[in-house]
């Protein structure tokens, strides 16, 4: 005995599809950034004995642009023959001599341990742990300030305004990252914004869920009241973990009881 499918009886339901955030979670090439165009990672060289005891001389070989990075990047060649890439502080030029090490002078572009940098100096590309290559204050126009030295470590004022204790052996570059004011310039054309977002691998353009059709998003359709609760488990997998994560309530304000 054959069973007739529900679609032939006119009761076939129109199913929705995965929303854009869930499709991005797959990690396919459609949503991946173009990392093959990038020049090199920005990080300090591995710490040598000569760098710890004195200073290693170097020279700025070239200043280049790295796709997806707002700040300019410089390739620096050391006297040992090693070449490393670093973000460029304001005032650094091609052919400029640089130093890296504990005995280096406190000049713009030189790299020193935080424990050897005087208080009030503006620094950038700061390591969080000795030898990690630099993690803090690397975007265009960013800088941190050395506030003071304590037995617990060096107090650094971060670009956010908060302060943090950092190990004295962590290295930092003296100066302010070049390219300040980059975000203040308008894009003027949607194409310019498109190419920036493509280089960074960001989603563009962003569409409101309520502006979509019902099949594309839970908030979609012209019905304003048909919204689904977005509370999800904290242990939800990527793609499903969207909205109110492990929320205690649905986000609505509770009415106060009148006495």
Q: What distance in Å separates the CA atoms of residue 56 and residue 224, rounded to the nearest whole number?
A: 65
What pLDDT was estimated at residue 44?
94
Q: What is the CATH number of the domain that holds 167?
A: 2.30.30.30
Whether 143 and 85 share a structural domain? yes
Q: Is residue 38 part of a domain?
A: no
Q: Helix count (H) and strand count (E) of the chain?
A: 3, 12
87 and 168 part of one domain: yes
240 shares a domain with 162: no
In this structure, the answer to whether residues 133 and 215 fall within a common structural domain is: no
Same domain flag for 155 and 210: no
Q: Which of 113, 146, 174 is the last residue of a domain?
A: 174
In a domain, 6, yes or no: no
- pLDDT for position 3: 46
Residues 153 and 217 reside in one and the same domain: no
Q: Which residues pair with 58 in a beta bridge?
A: 78, 98
Beta bridge partners of residue 167, listed in sequence order: none
- Per DSSP bridges, beta strands 163-166 and 55-64 are unpaired
| Whether residue 165 sits in one domain with residue 107 | yes
How much is the pLDDT for 219?
A: 81
- Whether residue 215 lies inside any domain: the answer is yes
**What pLDDT does 1 receive?**
46
Our count of domains for the chain comes to 2
What is the tens place of the pLDDT at every residue in 110-141?
999 999 999 999 999 999 999 999 999 999 99
Q: Give the pLDDT confidence score for residue 62 in this predicted structure.
A: 96
Query: In the chain, which residues have pLDDT < 70?
Result: 1-15, 224-229, 250-259
**pLDDT for residue 187:** 95
Give the domain-ending residue among 120, 140, 174. 174
The CATH number for 216's domain is: 4.10.950
**DSSP string computed for 208-223:** -GGGS-TTT-TT-SS-
Residue 16 lies in a domain: no
Of 149, 174, 199, the residue that ends a domain is 174
Residues with Cβ < 8 Å from 114, sequence gap 6 or more? 123, 126, 146, 153, 154, 156, 166, 167, 168, 169, 170, 171, 172
Residue span of the structural domain in which 59 resides? 49-174
Q: Give domain status of residue 17, yes or no.
A: no
Q: Is the domain of 131 the same as that of 169? A: yes
pLDDT at residue 113, rounded to an integer: 95
Residue 37 is classified by DSSP as G
* The predicted structure's pLDDT at residue 49: 84
């Amino acid at each position: 005995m054959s069973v007739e499918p529900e679609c032939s009886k006119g009761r076939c339901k129109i199913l929705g599809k995965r929303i854009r955030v869930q499709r991005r979670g797959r990690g396919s090439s459609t949503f991946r950034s173009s990392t093959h165009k990038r020049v090199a990672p920005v990080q300090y060289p591995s710490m040598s004995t000569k760098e710890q005891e004195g200073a290693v001389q170097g020279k700025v070989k070239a200043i280049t642009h790295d796709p997806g990075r707002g700040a300019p990047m410089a390739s620096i060649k050391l006297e040992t023959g090693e070449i490393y890439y670093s973000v460029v502080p304001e005032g650094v030029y091609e052919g400029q001599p640089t130093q890296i090490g504990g005995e280096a002078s406190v000049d713009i572009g030189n790299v020193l341990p935080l424990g050897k940098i005087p208080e009030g100096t503006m620094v950038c590309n700061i390591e969080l742990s000795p030898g990690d290559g630099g993690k803090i204050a690397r975007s265009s126009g960013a800088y941190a300030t050395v506030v003071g030295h304590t037995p617990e470590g060096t107090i650094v004022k971060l670009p956010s305004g908060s302060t943090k204790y950092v190990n004295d052996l962590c290295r930092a570059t003296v100066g302010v990252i070049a390219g300040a004011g980059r975000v203040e310039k308008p894009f003027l054309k949607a194409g310019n914004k498109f190419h920036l977002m493509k280089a960074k691998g960001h989603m563009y353009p962003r569409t409101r869920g309520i502006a979509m059709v019902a099949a594309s998003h839970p908030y979609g359709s012209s019905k304003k009241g048909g919204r689904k609760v977005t509370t999800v488990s904290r242990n939800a997998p990527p793609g499903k973990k969207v909205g109110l994560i492990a929320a205690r309530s649905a986000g609505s304000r509770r009415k106060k009881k009148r006495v």
